[in-house]
Structure 1
Amino acid sequence: MTRAGTDRQPWTATVLTLFPEAFPGLLGSSLAGKGLERDLWRLETLDIRGFARDKHRSVDDTPFGGGAGMVMRPDVVGAAVEASAESPGPLVYLSPRGRTFDQAMAREFAEEPGLRLLCGRYEGIDERVLEASGAREVSIGDYVLSGGEVAAQVVLDAVVRLLPGVMGNEASGGDESFEGDLLEYPHYTRPAEWQGRSVPEVLLSGHHERVRQWRRARAEDITERRRPDLWHRYLERRRTGGNEEG
């Protein structure tokens, strides 16, 4: 099956990792997993350790200049990166010093033919590999993880759900948090009363325009209170005509 009824191949993720058994992990479940089964996207792994050149299959060594920890060797990681060169999409290195991943970046990656995701371990990867490959460094937040595999799954989950056909209700993606620089409005379902708390009456009115206005107002209120950075960006987009109502 090709993407969006064209001759293009399905969007393909290639993960370069020391732990290929970690994939697909949760990506094999829910919408992403169903999309994988239907060949709406593809997942490949490349075992970095397979490019080690000694009998111990060493992938790391002590850092020049001293210091704690180990660094992934350039000859090993570089060979893995070169082996992935024919795979579609840009090379992304999951790194705490990279640009913070957000919904806009997810949409950008979804427009690519795929992604090559390089997962580091230990203290990271020899800088020369990043320089030689032109890898784009991306962070999922200001904290430290044991390796890039969890971060890679976060990126893939956010991107895959944007691919054509993966989400069952295509319209639902436009109402989620960070679309249009707003956080998502609150959701309610049955029962209409629970532990003395009632669903807002407007949601029971059947008046679609009033519901839409209420949701917009709640999204704006939540964004202003919780994420002033997004709120100011939203106001600026509205001021310049880049954010339409509804």
Structure 2
Amino acid sequence: QICITEAIFVNKHLSLLPAPACEWSGGETKLLLDLYTSYFSQVGPMKKFRNKKMMFERISSDLKQRLGVERTGEQCCSRYKTVCKRKKAAVNENNKSGNSPQDVPYEDELEKIKWLDDSLEPEIVRDASGIVSCKSSPYSKTNSVDHDEAHGSEEGKGSAAKNQKSKPSTARMRDISLFFEKMEEIQKRKAKRRAEREGEKEREQEKRRALKQERKEEMHKEKMQLLRRVFGLNDQAK
């Protein structure tokens, strides 16, 4: 009876301790990044969210409403920064010569965000010759082209008005085209890395099969030699 009472007492007090923080699942992280992409353009003065802190509070509320998970705005912000750091580390490892290619976590989602958030560092790329360069966002190129067009259109009011009407649709179509080109490039890179990993895996399996077969043949040879000695087959042959 004393042991049972002690067990009940311990369980009662253990239940009052805070539960350990749960790990973020893949679905939660993807939804977090998708919501970040949707809300980022609404952050700033005179907009829906005055700052990113308010945006992450809204993301926290959406996660609870859609997935039923309890995440604070601070936890959402911390998770986003962690994903960005891991992506940067994976890209740096892939750019080192001699390293086996590895998947970049949440690459598609972060690529969309990189186009929107210019605070993210440009991606460092190493080509086949070993030359390192920074990959700039297509949005920055689009903005520079639009700026040059706007500067040249100041000569005439009539032409400026026409350019202002045509620019948004032209820039939008250019951005959409660049977006799909970028997504296609990402898919090709992922397919290439997957093929390289599968090739390495197949070569390793072939090596293991060869070693296994070699050991099997050696064991069979030793077994036959032992049988010959036991039954005196070697002496009879002589």
Scaled by the length of structure 1, what TM-score is found?
0.26
Structure (1/2) with the larger strand percentage: 1
Answer 1 or 2: higher relative contact order, Cα 8 Å, separation at least 6: 1
- Structure with the greater alpha carbon radius of gyration: 2
